[in-house]
Chains A and B, each alone.
Chain A
Amino acid sequence: MMKKFFCKFYLAMIFILLYAPIVTLIVLSFNASKTRAKWGGFTLKWYSSLFQNEAIMDALYNTITIALISALIATFVGTAASIGIASMSRHFKTIFMSITNIPMLNADIVTGISLMLLFIAFGVKFGFATILLAHITFNIPYVILSVMPKLRQIDSNIYDAALDLGASPIYAFFKVIIPDILPGILSGFLLSFTMSLDDFIITHFTKGSGIDTLSTKIYAEVRKGIKPEMYALSTLLFVSVLILLIAVNKAPKQRKEN
């Protein structure tokens, strides 16, 4: 009983740590004063002005499109790569994993600058495409690092057993390996999507003129103070994901009840 209470208490503390800043931002989105240093009373005006702010809406669209496309491509390439790497000899595996770790091990600013140098050297015009390429690049390692541990836990005998029982390699692959590593693939996708959404430094160095994501927009605003509309937008994003999450979590339970 005591142990259970302690566990609950511990969980609660961690959640307070994780969510205290979030709550702060949500509160700030209702602050009538433009500065975050002062409480100027309750207002909803930032929520209405948000939707009239074309620049913020454009940035939101870019952010989500880039996050979605880059996460999809990264998941696809990364999962395939993981399976390939897992079947390699130890020597090649080490080489591949070292390459994979480069974007993880480099300071973001170095990754950003190195990509900028690459795009300049090859005369690629900066814009949506360059950001997307950069995001895919730093997302793939997250997918690989999510999928690899799952692959490691797979008992290779099961796959072999499937083959012995007459399954074709592709059939065995989809029926045996994929279901086992699916949680890894999904968390890799989710992680990629989130990392892309949250990235600032790399985007900053690879973006062209007239294109902004939410991060670069916020950073630009830091100089003259964050617009309260940003708090409002973050709150909306957060709440919509939360609702989605609860809905997804509820759905299977209901089905079970039926």
Chain B
Amino acid sequence: MNKKLLSAPYLLWAVSFIIIPLIMIFYYGLTDKSGGFTFSNILEISTSINVKALLLSLLLSLISTLICLLLAYPLAMILNNLNVNQNSFVVLIFILPMWMNFLLRTLAWQTLLEKTGVINNALAFFHLPSLNIINTPYAIVLGMVYNFLPFMVLPIYNILIKIDPNVINAARDLGANGLQTFCKVILPLSWPGVISGITMVFVPSLTTFVISDLLGGSKILLIGNVIEQKFTQANNWNVGSGLSLVLMIFILVSMAILSKYDKDGEGLI
């Protein structure tokens, strides 16, 4: 039996529901309203508004990804050391919040962060200065980190629990100190998980529009908002598709660069 054939149903599925729809986006992105071929939709990205929105999205998503990574890696290591027999328990703890709808959870942050919100009431109670981050980029970063942290923790954790403790013990026996063991053994072994995590956080942060709307007070325009507006408000699917294409290429390139650091050559791309 040829194992490769197992991927046949998926291939069929991917062609029908991924490739063909993608071609339709390409078609819309490269034509004008009357159906003629044009590059103008793609070039729309170079207007100052869109460049600014793209750069801001990049900045915020990079910061969020970095914070997620810095928070998640130690977390995954702690969880791994806890030796919980039930791996699924740890996984579930991080997935559990997602059972409360995404829109509701993000709205709840509004209730927490508002000027007269829960956190500020608590701070006022202890006579502490108030926290005014709602409707600023800080709140957006918080929202991204909050919503996407599980996507960083889970892949890293999943890799860490697979590492044979004997490998680490061997490193220690051979005289490596804690830091050396981490840098030379644990980190390289967990690299695929880190790459997965970065992708799963970076991409949704880069393309989100709901978080920036709800926590940024719609004062901050991200590239996701621009694209969303093209589709739902301006009703201009051509430009919307054009910009989506640019965004897609952009992400592909970032991921290609990232995968260069993936030693196995088996990163996500």
Chain A interface residues (CB < 8 Å from chain B): 7, 10-11, 14-15, 17-22, 24-25, 28, 36-37, 77-78, 80-88, 90, 92-94, 96-111, 113-115, 117-118, 121, 133-134, 136-137, 140, 144-146, 148-150, 152-153, 169-170, 183-184, 186-187, 190-191, 194-195, 197-198, 200-201, 214-215, 218-219, 222, 226, 230-231, 234, 237-238, 241-242, 245, 248-249, 252
Contact = CB atoms under 8 A, between A and B. Distances in A.
Given A78-B10, A84-B3, A110 B111 contact: no
Nearest to A256: B85
B92 A190 contact: yes
A118 B20 contact: yes
A87 B19 contact: no
Given A81-B7, A115-B17, A101 B268 contact: yes
B103 A222 contact: yes
Contacts of B255: 101, 105
B182 to A, nearest CB: 14
Contacts of B167: none
A110 B25 contact: yes
B52 interface: no
A121 B24 contact: yes
A19 B100 CA distance: 10
Pick the 6 closest A-B CB pairs, nearest first. Answer: A84-B7, A81-B10, A114-B21, A107-B207, A21-B108, A84-B6
A218 to B, nearest CB: 5
A78 B6 CA distance: 10
Contacts of A190: 88, 91-92, 95
A78 B75 CA distance: 28
B21 to A, nearest CB: 3
A241 B99 contact: yes
A11 B78 contact: yes
Main secondary structure of the interface of B (DSSP, over half): helix
Contact of A187 (B74, B75, B91, B241): B91
A110 B227 contact: yes
B96 interface: yes
Given A7-B78, A18-B97, A108-B207, A84 B104 contact: no
Question: By CB atoms of chain B within 10 A, which of A105, A114, A215, A234 has the most?
Answer: A105
B100 A234 contact: yes
21 contacts: A18-B150, A19-B97, A22-B100, A24-B108, A80-B6, A86-B3, A99-B19, A105-B248, A109-B224, A109-B228, A109-B244, A115-B21, A118-B24, A136-B13, A144-B10, A184-B158, A187-B158, A194-B95, A200-B102, A234-B101, A237-B99
B17 A117 contact: no
A94 B192 contact: no
Contacts of A110: 25, 227, 241, 244, 247-248
Given A81-B6, A106-B244, A118-B21, A238 B252 contact: no
B55 interface: no
Contacts of A249: 86, 89
Contacts of B146: 17-18, 21
B99 A238 contact: yes
Contacts of B3: 83-84, 86-87
Contact of A7 (B21, B81, B112): B81
A20 B14 CA distance: 39
B58 interface: no
Contact of A198 (B4, B14, B87, B101): B101
Interface in B63-122: 71, 74-75, 78-79, 81, 85-89, 91-109, 111-112, 118
A28 to B, nearest CB: 7
A9 B32 CA distance: 57
A28 B10 CA distance: 43
B187 interface: no
Given A101-B255, A108-B207, A137 B9 contact: no
Contact of B162 (A21, A78, A121, A150): A150
A152 B264 contact: yes
A28 B111 contact: yes
Nearest to B92: A245
Contact of A113 (B25, B94, B162): B25
A242 B96 contact: yes
A84 B91 contact: no
